[in-house]
A and B are shown apart, each in its own frame.
Chain A
Amino acid sequence: MTGHSGWFRHLVPLAVLLAGAVLAVVTLSGVLPGHGDPTPAAASAVPQVGRQDLNAVIYATQDKLRRLPGDAATWARLGAAYVEQARITADPSFYAKAQGALEKSLQVMPVDNVSAMIGMGQLANARHDFAAGQRWGEQAKALSPWTAEVYGVLADALTQLGDADGATAAVQSMLDVHPGVASFTRASYDLELHGRVEDARLALERALGVSASPDNVAFCRYYLGELAFNAGQLDEASSQYEQGLLAVPGNIPLLQGRAKVAAATGKTADALAGYAQITSRMPLPQYLLEYGELLESVGRDSQAHGQYDVLAAQQQLYAAQGSVDDLAASQVAADHGNPAEALRRAQQEWTRHQNVFSADALAWALHVNGRDSDALAYADKAAALGWRNATFAYHRGMILASLGRAADARAALSQALVINPHFSPLAAPRARQTLAELGGPR
């Protein structure tokens, strides 16, 4: 037992030394750099766009490439990540970086480089060069017919190029190869374009079911919300947007959904505040246009035109960076006082991509230029797939009304308002007014 007291005698000074050291470290580290919460308060106040996963991929690939600059596959992965980054942040300067990384990959490995081909295809699609997207997709498919991403590139390109059957086949192949979030969401879009809203919803539910990351959950919730909103189901849409925001607070598309629902339910102040926030954080053409139209619908014309001016500048910048979007430009010009420009852009778009979107844009551009009989042919093309699109139906109804085909016009305008009574803060009231002038809904 005396051994114990002997131990103590030796250990006490050591223990005191240790305790002192612990105390000193803890006390002094309070004044050391890096103490406390290293995340600045400002950063946590800003909701992330929801790209932690993507950032992790970008950092990891960059790190690897600093050590292994001759790794073609990693350059391709980085390029694809930059394309995705451009999509999420809506910042087109990432396209140049993506191109640089993908070219580097192809330079290191010029033949049989499937990953780089897929990345190039995604980049081309993102820049609305769908013909190039299709070419890259076909090349990659020839080399690697069992890669899901190949069919993703092809499906996106073919949808926009107007090859609806080819797009559906590509989506089916993608589902066969890898039934995941990317294939289910594409399947959902394809089904929606063919008017199969319920099947589209089920496909999105499947996508949501296999979504592991918050980003993917937010993505699926947004499209579920969009599907519901476009069918006029405001409660369901709101529920989806809000659930998505629980997964990724501050996600901008979901905030846009929330603002849209607010506008549709008459909470104009909330809607305007929401759009002001969204366009300040991410001034995308679509958001600027929706904000402008909402401002115009409540009579705040000068503010609305401020948004349209920014939109016009945006279009110029996109054009200067090699990304063409005649479709959006035509729509803006047609609705905001530049019929000639609208027609020119719509014709360009139709020449390049003969799909339902450009058919509708060209029909509407012809209508605002007074060429309604020409317009109707394109409105028919736009309706060919059976897409239940309120805006398309509205355009068709207005064209028919101008042609004096009152019964058909009433049917089309009624259909637009049945599909979604809130499809646009400016166009929906016009649809109602025209319908009333024609004798009310059929």
Chain B
Amino acid sequence: MLLAGCAAMLVLPVTLSGGPVADAHPLGDFTVNHYDGLSLFPDRIELHAVVDTAEIPTLQDKAATDTDGDGTISAREADQHGRVECAALAAAVTATVNGSPVRWRVTQSAATYPPGQPPLLITRVTCSLVAPANLHTTALVEFTDSFRADRIGWREITAIGEGLRVVSSTVAGASISDELRRYPDDLLSNPRDERSATVHVAPGIGGITGASAPLATRLSWLDHALASATRTFNELAGGTQLTPLVGTAAALLALLLGASHAALPGHGKTVMAAYLAGRRGTRRDAVLVGVTVTLTHTAGVLILGLLVAVLSSFAPEAVLRWLGILSGLLVAMVGAGLLRSALRHRWATPTHATMDRTPALVGASHGHGHAYGHGWDGEERPPGRVGLVGMGIAGGLVPSPTALFVLLGAIGLGRSWFGIALVLCYGLGMAATLTLAGVLMVTLRDRMARSVVSERWRDRGARVSAALPTMTAVLVLVVGLGLALRSLLGSG
């Protein structure tokens, strides 16, 4: 049911728009090249715009520029051209602060005609614009440039903060073309085609004055952990086209990755949950562990993803480490509780108890029962649920890097809902593995219990069963401490 719901949910976001269409042009004689340098101040936005027009469009403009028709561009005509161009540019660039547009004013304009391919000239128009804006508080600045949008050419935008902190930016802080003076030229590079920028600013100084690193590079530690299936998954989730097919494929892959993530050795989750569910619980308990894992994991990824996306200084590695320690300690605590009650009942119960569906082997809640006020009443199944939920939380507490990465990628592409859905699917996949393992254990145990074996074996089995709670409690405790220690040492 949950899995079916997961697949159905994914049909909804598939109509979300695709990513940016790569549209690259090199520099050539036809090009009109644009550079927009944004400087964000607490009280204003300044724009330093350069338009570098190649030989042919310069010549095409000549009729309009050479107003006296004498065949040359005089200083006065150049000034006039600069004014006209900058006015047109000011009308074609837009910036909004938290959604409300700012009003540009041209403070300076100039046009020069450096030599191009002899005997032709090129045009370099520079414009300084300013717009009052309230950036004293946290704000979102969105900028677009549609000046001469139909011309082919290089388009580059930069953004820096002055007296405020640039929390994140979709563009770089420094021009790689030296403001259209030197274009990077190698056989494997494509020209820039930035026509818009989104900058998130906050009060403060010393933040990122250049571009903030993209989210992906801040998570570079992931690279080692992720297999090629994960890459495929990320490509699916972050591709330019989100078709129903791609959406469904991404969802199924999320399920699969989650399932295999839970089965990976070293997490201890599978062993723990399976033991708890198998040893004492029912199939329902197995499902409970699964649901808890899904909810914890999804919530954890969402919260962590939110923190990473909002706070640029937030280091997910450190948090993951602490969560790992916490998760280990939680497991150890459950183990300690188990051990306590197991030892107590070892002395108090006869060995035949294992044959009973309501055994004398006491659940973890027996030690923690005070929290819920309902103990073991004999008719009721022993409520090991605190332990089960604890295990589920421990299992889901450490967000999977893959899931986190996918969520951040989806947010970056403006597909938050899709990312959340994928994270949920990932958690469901994890839950499916854990639940399946638990159900298998329960079934296996019931079979063994019902099978007719010799009295001797049954007896021996009973004795082993009687010792099991203590053994497993110790195991849980040791594994929990081990997990916590491993996280503490930073190898998790």
Contacts and interface: CB of A to CB of B under 8 A. Distances in A.
Interface size, A (range):
35 or more
A29 to B, nearest CB: 4
B6 interface: no
Interface stretch (B100-108, B291-299, B481-489): B291-299
Contact of B22 (A45, A55, A104, A280): A55
B100 to A, nearest CB: 14
A282 B420 CA distance: 44
Interface in B394-448: 407, 411-414, 416-417, 420
B42 interface: no
Given A18-B299, A91-B26, A283-B30, A2 B380 contact: yes
A222 to B, nearest CB: 20
B146 A283 contact: no
A14 B295 contact: yes
A36 to B, nearest CB: 5
Nearest to A250: B150
A37 B17 contact: yes
A62 B191 CA distance: 13
Contacts of A18: 295, 298-299, 302
Nearest to A36: B414
A264 to B, nearest CB: 25
Contact of A39 (B20, B55, B151): B20
A39 B200 contact: no
B145 interface: yes
Contacts of A314: 29, 56
Contacts of A303: 63
Interface stretch (B125-133, B303-311, B337-345, B347-355): B303-311
Interface of A: 2-3, 6-7, 9-11, 14-15, 17-18, 21-22, 24-26, 28-29, 31-43, 45-46, 48, 52, 55, 58-59, 62, 65-66, 78, 89-94, 97, 100-101, 104, 277, 279-283, 303, 306, 309-310, 313-314, 316-317, 320
B442 to A, nearest CB: 15
B149 A10 contact: no
Interface size, B (range):
35 or more
B23 A55 contact: yes
The 5 closest A-B pairs by CB, nearest first: A42-B146, A40-B196, A91-B28, A21-B302, A40-B195
Contacts of B110: none
B168 interface: yes
B170 interface: yes
8 contacts: A28-B310, A29-B411, A38-B414, A40-B196, A41-B144, A43-B149, A100-B187, A317-B29
Contact of A25 (B27, B193, B199, B305): B305
Nearest to B138: A31
Interface stretch (B77-85, B325-333, B381-389, B470-478): B381-389
B150 to A, nearest CB: 5
B168 A33 contact: yes
Contacts of A66: 188
B198 interface: yes
Contact of A38 (B19, B25, B57, B152): B19
A283 B302 CA distance: 52
A418 to B, nearest CB: 37
Contacts of A52: 21
A33 B169 contact: yes
Nearest to B305: A25
Contacts of B200: 31-33
Given A10-B292, A36-B414, A313 B21 contact: no
A366 B338 CA distance: 106
A55 B25 CA distance: 10
B56 A317 contact: yes
Interface in B351-394: 372, 374, 380-381, 383, 385-386, 389
A43 B176 CA distance: 21
Given A10-B288, A10-B292, A280-B151, 15 more contacts: A6-B383, A10-B385, A10-B386, A10-B389, A11-B292, A25-B416, A31-B200, A32-B168, A34-B170, A36-B414, A37-B414, A91-B28, A93-B26, A309-B62, A320-B117
Contacts of A11: 291-292, 295
Interface string B179-205: 000000001111001011011100000
Given A31-B140, A39-B17, A25 B302 contact: yes
Nearest to A47: B150
B56 A310 contact: yes
Contacts of B198: 33-35
Contacts of A309: 59, 62
A48 B23 contact: yes
B309 A89 contact: no
A189 B67 CA distance: 46
A283 B57 contact: yes
A38 B197 CA distance: 10
B163 interface: no
Contact of A97 (B26, B302, B417): B26
B144 A89 contact: no
B409 to A, nearest CB: 10
Nearest to A41: B144
A7 B411 CA distance: 33
| Best-buried of A42, A90, A91, A101 by chain B (most CB within 10 Å) | A42
Nearest to B296: A14
B60 interface: yes
B461 interface: no
B56 A313 contact: yes
A281 B151 contact: yes
Nearest to B292: A14
| Best-buried of A38, A41, A306 by chain B (most CB within 10 Å) | A38
Contact of B187 (A89, A90, A101, A316): A101
Contacts of A10: 288, 292, 385-386, 389
A2 B188 CA distance: 67
| Best-buried of B19, B188, B298 by chain A (most CB within 10 Å) | B188
B18 interface: yes
